[in-house]
A and B are shown apart, each in its own frame.
Chain A
Amino acid sequence: METLALIETLDRDGLPRHVLRVPQWPVRIGRAIDCDLVLDDPHVAAHHATLEMHDDGVHVVPAPSLNGVRLGRAAIAPGSTARLPASALLTLGATTLRVRQPGEVLAPEQRFLDLHQYERRHAVTLLLLVAFAAVWKGFDLWLTTVPGQQGSALAWAYLATPAGLILWCAAWAIGSMLFQRRFAFWAHLYIALTWLMAGTVVETVTAQLAFAFSMPALEKLGRIAFVGAMAIMIWRHMGLLLPQRRRAFGIAITSAVVVGGGLLLVDRSVQQQPLVGDLYLGTLSLPGVRVARPVPVDAFVKSAAPLEKTLSHWAKTGDGDGDEDESDGGEEE
C-alpha cells in the first residue's frame, strides 16, 4: 500500500514516540477510538481535527475544541483551514505532531559522533597526554619548591590540579549524559588536557624566548595564546555535547572573548596599565638562554627619554581618582 504521508507523534525531546503511515485521506485525529490517530492527551477533544487532501495539498481542518490547533506557532481560527507545508508541526492540546509528505527535500546526512569510538581512537594519545601532564606538573612542583619541604604538603600541592581537572571533566561528562546519554569522561579529559597543555607549553616557551631575545612582546603573545587555547577548549567541550550546534557555540565563544577582552582593554587603558600582561617582563632564565646582547648604561638610560612624553600626557588626562589601595612604592614587604 502506498504511504501518502507520515504522522509522527513527538515526545518532549522532539523524538517520534509513535508513527502513523497514512494510507488514505482524510485522517481524523482525536481522543475517540473511532479516530484514525488516537491521542492519549486529556487536552485533546474527542474529535479534534481532520487532515484532508485538497486541490493544493493537505489541509488541517480543526473541529470545535477547547484548546484549538496550532500550525507552527500560529493558531488556526475556528472554521478556517490551513495548508500544511513540508514537515509541518501541528500542536493539538499538549501533543505535537509532525506531518511528513512524499517529495520533501531531506537535510543531508550528518556525521555521527560515536563517543565510544572517539575515546578508543584517542586512547593512546590520552595516555601520553596524562603522562606528559604528570611529568610537567612534577617538574613544576620541583622547580617552585625548595629542598626539604614537608612531603604531605608537596602531595597536596601535586594533587590539587588533577583533582580540579577531574571535577571539571566530570561536570562536562554530566552534560554529555544529558544530551548524548553517555558519561563521556575520557573524551572530555582528552579535550581538557590537550588544550591545557598546549596553552601551558606555548606560554612557557614564549616567556623563555621573550627573555632570550629581550622581547617582552613575545611573552604577551604567549598570554594571549593561552587565553585562546582555553577558549578553544571550552568550544570543543561544548561541541561534544551538541555536535550539530558547533557553529553557534563558536560564534558565542568568539563574541564572549571579543567582548570580554575588549572591556578589559578599555579598563586597563583607562587605568594606564599595559593592555596585555605585566608592567615589565618578569621572566629570568638561565644565563645560557640569553641571546640578546646587553646595552651600555648610557644607551639604556637614553632609550627611556620617550617616556617623558607619555607620562606628561598621562598626567594631564583622566580626572578620576586612581586606585587608592596602593601603598608607598616598593618599600614594604
Chain B
Amino acid sequence: MLLNRLFRQPGRLLAALLLGGAALAAWAGATTSNARPSLAPTSPLVKPPAAASAPQQEDEHDDSANLSASARRIYDVGRPRLLQVRTLLRDQDSQASVGSGSLVGSNGLILTNYHVVSQVALEPQRYRLNFQTVDGVSGALQLVAFDVVHDLALVRMAQPPATVAARGTFDFRPQATPLAQGERIFSLGNPLDIGFEVIEGTYNGLVERSFLPQILFSGALNPGMSGGPVLDDRGRIVGVNVATRRDGQNISFLVPAEFAQALIARGANARPITGSVEAEMARQLLVHQQALTTRFTALPWRETKHAHYSVPVPQEDFMRCWGSSNPSESKGLSFERSDCQMDTAIFINESLRTGDIAVRHEVYDGSKLGALRFAQEAGMSFRNERMGRRTHDLTAPKCQEDFVENAGLPMRTVMCLRAYRHLPGLYDVAVLSQSVDAKTEGVQGRFDARGVSFQNALLLARHYLQGFAWKRSP
C-alpha cells in the first residue's frame, strides 16, 4: 500500500462501540485508566465522512403524554426482570466490566451479550460473574450457552433466590408480528453503572448490507447497557442492546430477538459450562465462515473501468466500498484506490475480531515518473504491506509467493496465512498481488479474510486471484 504522499480520507475507518466494556472506567477513567486500556471494545465499521454530516432525522414527539405513559409501563415491567451482569476478578470484588441482562427463563436464566461475559468464558481462572438486580439482590452467575457469531450468551443464577419466580420473565414478541419501521421501542439497561434506565428510541429495520442481521435503533445506547433487552410497547423483547457507532449520534445496533430465542431453545436446559469454550467457539465460527465463504464466492466480481486491468472488486451486497485518489496535480505516482469492508466483525476478545472479509485495490499511473522510478515506487508500495506478527491469539504469518498469471495478466503474488492459536481449524488469509506487466502502470490488490478454514482460505484466494485480468484497450 502506498504510504508516501497517500491521500487519506479522514475518519474513513471508524469504530462501533460495544456496550459491555469497563463502563466504570469510562467516566472514572482519569484515575483508573490503566485498569483496562481499551475500555470500549471496538470493531471496525466503515463509515463515510459524508454520513457524519447527515444527522438522523428526529421523530416528532406528537403524543408525548401517551409515550411517557408507555415508558412508565415499560419501566414497571422491566424493573424486576432487568439485571446488571458484572465480571469480577476471581479473587477480589473489583469489577472488571459490567453489562446488562434480562430474566428470560425459569430458575434465573438470563440473556446477555457474549462480549459481556467473554472474559469469564475465555479465562474462567481469572474472572467470575455476578448479577445484581435493580432492587439490590445479588449473587453468582454461571455461563450456560453462547452464540459468539451473534454476540449472545445465556447465564444462570448459581443459587436462584426464592423470590426469583415472583419476578417473572420477559416474553418475546412473536415473529409473526414484525415491527414496522418507525415504531417506538424501549431499550433497558444500566449505562455506565449509574443506574437503571429506560431509553425510548425508534425501530429502523435491519442495517443495510450487513452480513449478520442487526436492528438499527435510533436511541442513545451507552457502555454498560450491553445485553439489556429492547422491548416493544407491550414489554416484549424485540432485540438485545449490542453496539453503537462512535462517530454517529443515536446510531445503535440490536441483535434481533430471533437469535436470542434460538439460543434459549437450545441452551435453556444446558448444564453450566465448566471446561474450555474454545472448541465450541471454533465450531460456531466454522459454521459462520462456511456460510460467508459460500455466499462470497457465489457473487461475481464487479466490472472495473480501467482501460487495461480487470480488478476484483466485490459486490456491495454485504460490503461497503470507499474510493479515494490522490490530487491530479501530483507530479509523482497517481493512484486510485478502493476499499471494501464488511460492517460486522465477530467479537472474540478485546484484541481479536474475526469472521469478516476485506478487499482493497490501488491502480497506479506512473506516466509522470518513468519506468525506473515507477518500478521503485510500485515496489515500495508492495513491500510495506503489513501481514501481522505473532500475537496472543494468532501465529505469525507464513507466506507463499510466486509470479502468477491470470487471463493474460502476470502478477507478483504473496499469500500469507496465520493460524488461530486457541481456535483450532481457523485461519486468517491475506493475498497481495501486484501486476508486473507494464513499465509505468500497474494495479495492486489485497484480499483479507479472517477466521476461515484452511480450505476456504485457499478457495477464497483462488476466487480472488481469478478476478484479475488484462484487458485489450477498447
Contacts and interface: CB of A to CB of B under 8 A. Distances in A.
Given A146-B333, A311-B427, A295 B379 contact: no
Interface stretch (B71-79, B121-129, B368-376): B368-376
Nearest to A139: B372
Nearest to A329: B448
Nearest to A278: B383
Given A271-B396, A296-B406, A324-B391, A286 B401 contact: no
Interface in A274-333: 278-287, 290, 292-298, 300-305, 307-308, 310-312, 314-316, 318, 321-324, 326, 328-333
Given A146-B333, A323-B391, 14 more contacts: A281-B401, A284-B382, A286-B371, A294-B410, A301-B462, A304-B417, A307-B399, A315-B421, A324-B351, A324-B392, A330-B387, A331-B44, A333-B3, A333-B6
23 contacts: A142-B373, A146-B5, A146-B369, A147-B368, A214-B403, A216-B401, A271-B389, A273-B396, A282-B379, A284-B382, A286-B371, A294-B405, A296-B406, A301-B462, A304-B417, A307-B417, A310-B398, A311-B398, A315-B395, A315-B424, A329-B450, A331-B44, A331-B341
Contacts of A146: 5, 330-333, 369, 373, 377
A143 B370 CA distance: 10
Contact of B398 (A271, A284, A307): A307
Given A147-B369, A284-B412, A304-B458, A290 B403 contact: yes
A18 B390 CA distance: 68
Given A144-B376, A147-B331, A290-B410, A300 B368 contact: no
A7 B380 CA distance: 69
B404 A297 contact: yes
Contacts of B398: 272, 307, 310-311, 314
Nearest to B4: A146
Contacts of A143: 372-373, 376
B383 A272 contact: no
A304 B456 CA distance: 13
Contact of A279 (B371, B416, B461): B416
Contacts of A301: 415, 458, 461-462, 465
Nearest to A268: B396
A297 B390 contact: no
A102 interface: no
Q: Is the interface of B mostly helix, strand, loop or mixed?
A: mixed
B375 A314 contact: no
Given A307-B398, A329-B448, A280 B414 contact: yes
A281 B430 CA distance: 15
A148 interface: yes
Contacts of A314: 390, 395-396, 398, 419
Q: Would you list the 3 A-B pairs with minimal beta carbon distance, nearest first?
A: A282-B383, A146-B332, A322-B390
B208 interface: no
A294 B402 contact: yes
A312 B399 CA distance: 14
Nearest to A311: B419
Chain B interface category by residue count: 35 or more
Contacts, number: 188
Contacts of B373: 142-143, 146
Interface string B330-369: 1111000000010000000001010000101000000011
B220 interface: no
Interface residues of A, number: 56
Nearest to B406: A297
A267 to B, nearest CB: 12
A37 to B, nearest CB: 71
B437 interface: yes
B378 interface: yes
Nearest to A315: B419
Contacts of A310: 398
A224 B6 CA distance: 33
Contact of A307 (B394, B400, B412): B400
B379 A285 contact: yes
Given A281-B401, A314-B395, A333-B1, A287 B437 contact: yes
A94 to B, nearest CB: 60
A93 B377 CA distance: 71
A304 to B, nearest CB: 4
A308 B396 contact: no
Contact of B379 (A283, A316, A328, A331): A283
Given A286-B439, A308-B454, A292 B389 contact: no
B390 A331 contact: no
A279 B424 CA distance: 24
A282 B376 CA distance: 11
B165 to A, nearest CB: 46
A331 to B, nearest CB: 6
Interface of A: 142-144, 146-148, 211, 214, 216, 271-273, 278-287, 290, 292-298, 300-305, 307-308, 310-312, 314-316, 318, 321-324, 326, 328-333
A302 B446 CA distance: 19
A272 B353 contact: no
B436 interface: yes
B245 interface: no
Nearest to B407: A297
B316 interface: no
A280 B401 contact: yes
Nearest to B379: A284
Given A272-B396, A296-B405, A329 B465 contact: no
A307 B6 CA distance: 33
A129 B101 CA distance: 76
Contacts of B416: 279-280
Contacts of A323: 389-391
Nearest to A321: B392
B412 A331 contact: no
A311 B418 contact: yes
B192 to A, nearest CB: 27
Contacts of A282: 379, 382-384
Given A143-B372, A305-B458, A312-B419, A300 B404 contact: yes
A329 B430 contact: yes
Contacts of B13: 331-332
A304 B431 CA distance: 12
B466 interface: yes
Given A294-B411, A315-B420, A331 B351 contact: no
Contact of A292 (B333, B394, B403, B454): B403
Given A286-B375, A287-B439, A314-B398, A297 B462 contact: yes
A330 B353 CA distance: 14
Contact of B399 (A214, A280, A297, A302): A280
A315 B422 CA distance: 8
Nearest to A314: B395
Contact of B395 (A272, A292, A297): A272
Contacts of A290: 403, 410, 436
A3 B430 CA distance: 86
